[in-house]
Amino acid sequence: MRAMVLERIGEPLQAVERPLPEPLAGEIRLRVEACAVCRTDLHVVDGDLPQPKLPLVPGHEIVGIVEAVGSGVDRARIGRRAGVPWLGHTCQSCFYCRSNAENLCDDPLFTGYTRDGGFATDVIADANYAFDLDPDGDPVSLAPLLCAGLIGWRSLKRAGDGRRIGIYGFGAAAHIIAQICVWQGRQVYAFTRPEDAAAQRFALDLGALWVGGSAELPPEPLDAAIIFAPVGSLVPAALKVVRKGGRVVCGGIHMSDIPAMPYAVLWGEREVVSIANLTRQDAREFFAIAAEAGVKTHTIVYPLEEANRALADLRAGRLSGAAVLVP
């Protein structure tokens, strides 16, 4: 098998040949059709997230065909299309797992971080954390749903039922969840870097009611705001645009430090909450809703061997939509 491997933090991924792995008990092996590139992958390779497994194959938005199964796995899954997300395994015994909060598991494994991921031609996954996908779907279009879509959906749920939703950072997750908002009859207010006219046009094309720079005030107070950009200074900015009782949701796994701010910005029963990982229930909900809403992902395809270029384009903000690697 071929794989793009992170040998050391901060260095480019290396193209390597590895023996084809065999699934152990409870595991499956997939032939990778597509793997989307997520900002979390940047946080892993750049060292923002501590103690990744090294050497490591990144990638956690995986679509592939099941080609082998380990003991205890239904052999009927062979030949089916499946998706593998960020949450790769949980202990099922800690307080959080027993409380229907497996996203907060005390002893988890994460795809493309603490176990090898999908920047490869083949990948091993826990069968219980791989989801059956539409056999007739386009694997490139499906791949961003496995994290950008799932985390966006969990973020939107935490934002509540308000009608006016602000979104900071109009990338892969935002472009998916904006479509869900419009389908639900909500109003989308998109906040981007002031100079990013392309992102603002992209947001308007997807149905945003208003677009502006991240420091601008929208024409009316918002019910909630979701921050996908990993920029801590956006937290007080978002608090200033939500109404009393409104909520700011931090949707990323990593964010720069939140600056000191006057208490008055938070006062009025405003809330700040974070999103951590996902649950399998999130996936069951989201895939059904995405299909019903007719979500269309916007993708830029890169060959597997150009994973470093895809990461660089994401890091530099040159993408509208999601980068997807195809072996």
Q: What is the pTM of this model?
A: 0.94
User: Do 31 and 158 have their domain in common?
Assistant: no
Q: Could you tell me the pLDDT band of residue 320, with boundaries at 50, 70 and 90?
A: confident
Mean pLDDT of 269-297: 96
In terms of domains, do 302 and 250 share one? no
**Together in a domain, 269 and 283:** no
- Is there a single domain that holds both residue 142 and residue 181? no
CATH number of the domain enclosing 88: 3.90.180.10
- Which pLDDT value is given to residue 317? 87
Is the omega angle on the peptide bond into residue 55 within 30 degrees of 0, that is, cis? Answer: yes
Residue range 23-82, pLDDT digits in tens: 999 999 999 999 999 999 999 999 999 999 999 999 999 999 999 999 999 999 999 999
Total of domains in the chain: 2
Q: Are residues 268 and 178 located together in one domain of the fold?
A: yes
Residue where one domain finishes, among candidates 274, 295, 315: 274
Residue 306 pLDDT > 90: yes
When pLDDT is averaged across residues 181-191 and rounded to a whole number, the result is 98
Same domain for 58 and 121, yes or no, is: yes
Tell whether 262 and 132 lie within a shared domain. no
Task: Tell me, letter by letter, the H, E, C secondary structure of the chain.
Answer: CEEEEECCCCCCCEEEECCCCCCCCCEEEEEEEEEEECHHHHHHHCCCCCCCCCCECCCCCEEEEEEEECCCCCHHHCCCEEEECCEEECCCCCCCHHHCCHHHCCCCEEECCCECCCCECEEEEEHHHCEECCCCCCHHHHHHHHCHHHHHHHHHHHHCCCCEEEEECCCHHHHHHHHHHHHCCCEEEEEECCCCHHHHHHHHHCCCCEEEECCCCCCCCEEEEEECCCCCCHHHHHHCCEEEEEEEEECCCCCCCCCCCCHHHHCCCCEEEECCCCCHHHHHHHHHHHHHHCCCCCEEEEEHHHHHHHHHHHHCCCCCCEEEEEC
Residue 135, Cβ neighbours under 10 Å: how many? 9
For residues 296 and 320, membership in a common domain is answered with: yes
Which range marks the domain in which residue 71 is found? Answer: 2-146+278-326
Q: Percentage of the chain surpassing pLDDT 70?
A: 100
Report whether pLDDT(194) > 90.
Answer: no
CATH code of the domain covering residue 234: 3.40.50.720
Residues 62 and 112 in one domain: yes
**pLDDT value of residue 195:** 85
| C-alpha to C-alpha distance for 262 and 260, rounded to whole angstroms | 7
Q: How far is residue 226's CA from residue 229's CA, in Å, rounded to a whole number?
A: 9
Q: What is the pLDDT of residue 321?
A: 87
pLDDT for residue 289:
97
Q: What is the pLDDT of residue 319?
A: 87
Is 262 found in the same domain as 225?
A: yes
Note the pLDDT tens digit of each residue in 197-252.
Answer: 989 999 999 999 999 999 999 999 999 999 999 999 999 999 999 999 999 999 99
> Is 11 exposed, middle or buried (CB count within 10 Å of its CB: 0-12, 13-18, 19+)?
exposed
Mean of the per-residue pLDDT values for the chain?
Answer: 97
Residues 237, 134 share a domain: no
Query: Crossing angle for the helix pair 197-205 and 172-183, nearest 10 degrees?
Result: 30
Q: How confident is the model at residue 182 (pLDDT cuts 50, 70, 90)?
A: very high
Q: 293 and 219 share a domain? A: no
Q: What is the mean pLDDT of residues 151-156?
A: 97
| Residue burial 242-275, b: 16+ Cβ < 10 Å; e: rest | bbeebbbbbbbbebeeeeeeeeeeeeeebebeeb
Confidence band, pLDDT 50/70/90 cuts, at residue 183: very high
> In this predicted model, what pLDDT tens digit does every residue of 239-255 receive, in sequence order?
999 999 999 999 999 99
